[in-house]
Amino acid sequence: MSIYSRQDVLRILQISARQLQGWERAGLIVPQQAYTFQDLGQLRILRALREDDVPAASIRHSISAMKAVAGMINPLLEATVVRTGSTRIAFRHHGAMVDPIRRQLLFDFERAGQKDALSEPAPLRPRGADPQRNQQDLFLMAVQAEETGDRQRAIELYEQIVAADQSYAAAFINLGTIYFHLRQYGRAEELYRRATEVDPDYVLAFFDLGNVLDELDRPEESIAAYQQAVALAPRYGDAHYNLALAYERKAELRHALRHWQAYVRLDRSGPWAEHALGQIRKLLSREKLAIAWRAEKYIAPVTGNPGLRIAGPDE
């Protein structure tokens, strides 16, 4: 395997030492002195994203979210990065396009060969010609409606999809998310539960179900949903984070501590990591106080020989 020094990397990629150090400080790549060919591939992708003015924070959060969602070690190499807006990226993986931050599947315009679909949705094919294709067209139009802010139109389209195809998990999730933001939590729960039944390995469905159950103040069920998400994807940082919060609300501090610690192992920088570290310090401090309190109640035995006593003058 070829190994490249830092100077080799700077020369090959035509970047400055300051740029490389900036990516390391931003948490986009681990600081190191020797690089493999795979590392060069990752750095090329980072360079392209930064040249397109995608913010470093957006890249870092998307990478962390994709690690959690898909259990990947290095999403920049294990999936294809797709620019979805001026500041956002998504990942193409196993034929699906995923926005890990919003935890939604997106319609893959490029793969569908519809480069102008955002401005002119493709017309639907006649009923019966290709049912699967009809559903894809409807999903595309629903995503477009969401992107343009036409929430009611998106609801109508997603409802049409799930009425015709009870196995379309992505439509259940996207529709549930709309109702969640409308604070119609009962309907959102129903849709998320349906997604978990349709696809029992759908990590995001369990995570979203945990969120809506938390809003409904049903902590035991919420924790169970988050636990299932973690069981399916142990590197799902957001699920660990929400589990820690849920356990704290139940005063189950040792469980909370375990999930805060799991979260910071997955996300070592940024505001959420700082909050998690703060909670870890608080919980450890409380534990020390509890130990100290118990120590105050302890009465030490008398030292020395208990049989030896100096007599007083009146004895």
Q: What is the pLDDT of residues 249-265, one digit of tens each?
A: 999 999 999 999 998 88
The answer to whether the CB of 144 falls within 8 A of the CB of 121 is yes
Q: What is the pLDDT of residues 156-182, one digit of tens each?
A: 999 999 998 888 887 898 899 899 989
Q: Which two tokens stand for residue 307?
A: 């049989």
Long-range CB contacts for residues 218-227, cutoff 8 Å, separation at least 24: 219/246, 219/249, 219/250, 222/246, 223/247, 223/250
Kindly report the pTM of this predicted structure: 0.56
Dist. CA 58–CA 42, nearest whole Å: 16
Mean pLDDT for 288-312 is 42
Of the listed ranges 67-76, 119-128, 243-252, 262-271, the least confidently predicted one is: 119-128
Instruction: Identify which of 115-129, 137-151, 245-259 has the greatest average pLDDT.
Output: 245-259
Query: Pairing mode, if any, of strands 104-106 and 80-83?
Result: unpaired
Domains and CATH numbers, the chain: 202-291 (1.25.40.10)
